[in-house]
């Protein structure tokens, strides 16, 4: 969304916050109140953010509604207007996902309410949605890698120490995400010492099964070329951020505390827009990785699957096929252009 009005969990109305926490706080295997205790962290986070945006919208347009019970606020007319507002800020696919995540949150808060009408709306939007054409944004992975390194190498040219620290951090974010294209939520949740581990060969990223979308643990060796940059970030740059001693987060905000995934999205799109003229969002790094592998190793589907941590090989196959199609289109366009120039020279 162009403008984010999300309200964090600790600022939700007290009744909403209590119901939300109860939904996940299972005291036993048979606790009926903890209806969502088995949700994965990524699912919980997406639902929480979607509900926070819904509350933020109400706070900006109808603040009195925040005094109502969660189900009482979600009238069909009010929700329709909210989704129309979202529609101007999201793609069709994004709107379908937003409705789905809000529905998940409402089912957690009001599990006895019939939300079939909202499920019907979500299904209708999902049917109309079409994946956006990403080919024009599939820049070469090497260009993104060079951008990350260049931002870090030139950070010392900034006259203000705080801006230099932000630029270095942003460059490292881009370089690490190019090297190991994790999903945005997992990437933002990385902690020093827990997920970023020092090894004899450099640095390793480790995620437990409950911290990944597919439930499988992740163990990635980071490129040796990044070791010197990460060393400097941890020893010199990260300590410049407020609250660094209290937070284990790898990526810190200038305001203090963890840099949330929405903020990382904004950083990456802003830096890539400035460098390439097009905004490249974090999830696109995964498609770019598949493209790079498809170009270098056309038959290495398993390599792409392992890098992108897909459980279902068909998911990787879709990205891999799109990458190979994009590369074929690029080469075909190059052939046409070379033939056109050849005819011009003959004339």
Q: Give Cα 245 to chain centroid, integer Å.
A: 26
Q: Which residues have CB under 8 Å from 60's CB, separation 6+?
A: 5
Q: What is the pLDDT of residue 184?
A: 81
Kindly report the pTM of this predicted structure: 0.61
Contact 69, 54 (CB under 8 A): no
- For 293-326, the pLDDT digits (tens) are 666 555 544 444 445 544 444 544 454 454 444 4
Are 132 and 115 within 8 A, CB to CB? Answer: no
Instruction: Give residue-wise pLDDT tens across range 51-65.
Output: 999 999 999 999 999
Q: How far apart are CA 82 and CA 79, in angstroms?
A: 5
pLDDT value for 66: 93
User: 262 and 248 in contact (C-beta within 8 Å)?
Assistant: no
Ordered domains of the chain (ranges, CATH) = 9-128 (no CATH), 135-281 (1.10.443.10), 283-347 (no CATH)
Helix (H) or strand (E) holding 198: strand 196-199
- Per-residue pLDDT of the chain in tens (347 residues, 90 and over written 9): 434 568 889 899 999 999 998 888 754 444 455 567 778 777 888 899 999 999 999 999 999 999 999 899 999 999 999 999 988 777 788 888 899 999 999 999 999 999 999 999 999 888 887 655 555 667 888 889 999 999 999 999 999 999 999 999 999 999 999 888 888 888 898 999 999 999 888 999 888 877 766 667 777 888 899 999 999 999 999 999 999 999 999 999 998 889 988 889 999 999 999 999 999 988 888 877 776 666 655 554 444 444 554 444 454 445 445 444 444 444 444 544 455 556 554 44
> For position 342, what pLDDT does the model report?
60
Return the pLDDT at 332: 40
Task: Provide the pLDDT for residue 131.
Answer: 58
């Amino acid at each position: 969304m162009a403008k984010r009005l999300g309200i964090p969990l600790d600022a939700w109305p007290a009744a909403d916050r209590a119901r939300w926490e109860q939904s996940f706080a299972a005291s036993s295997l048979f606790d009926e109140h903890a209806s969502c205790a088995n949700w994965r962290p990524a699912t919980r986070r997406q639902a929480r953010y979607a509900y926070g945006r819904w509350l933020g919208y109400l706070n900006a347009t109808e603040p009195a509604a925040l005094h109502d019970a969660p189900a009482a606020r979600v009238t069909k007319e009010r929700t329709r207007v909210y989704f129309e507002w979202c529609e101007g800020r999201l793609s069709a696919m994004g709107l379908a996902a937003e409705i789905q995540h809000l529905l998940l949150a409402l089912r957690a808060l009001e599990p006895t309410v019939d939300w079939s009408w909202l499920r019907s709306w979500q299904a209708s939007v999902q049917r109309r949605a079409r994946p956006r054409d990403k080919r024009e944004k599939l820049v070469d992975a090497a260009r993104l890698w060079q951008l990350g390194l260049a931002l870090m190498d030139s950070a010392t040219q900034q006259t203000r120490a705080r801006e230099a620290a932000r630029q270095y951090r942003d460059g490292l974010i881009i370089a690490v995400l190019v090297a190991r294209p994790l999903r945005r939520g997992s990437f933002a949740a990385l902690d020093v010492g827990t997920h970023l581990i020092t090894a004899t060969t450099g640095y390793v990223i480790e995620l437990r099964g409950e911290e990944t979308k597919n439930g499988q643990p992740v163990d990635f060796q980071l490129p040796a070329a990044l070791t010197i940059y990460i060393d400097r970030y941890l020893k010199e740059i990260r300590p410049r951020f407020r609250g660094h001693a209290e937070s284990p987060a790898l990526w810190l905000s200038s305001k203090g505390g963890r840099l949330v995934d929405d903020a990382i999205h904004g950083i990456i799109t802003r830096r890539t827009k400035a460098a390439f003229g097009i905004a490249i969002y974090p999830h696109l790094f995964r498609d770019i990785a598949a493209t790079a592998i498809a170009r270098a190793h056309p038959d290495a589907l398993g390599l792409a699957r392992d890098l992108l941590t897909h459980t279902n090989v068909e998911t990787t196959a879709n990205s891999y096929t799109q990458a190979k199609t994009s590369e074929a289109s690029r080469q075909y366009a190059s052939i046409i252009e070379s033939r056109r120039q050849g005819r011009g020279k003959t004339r």
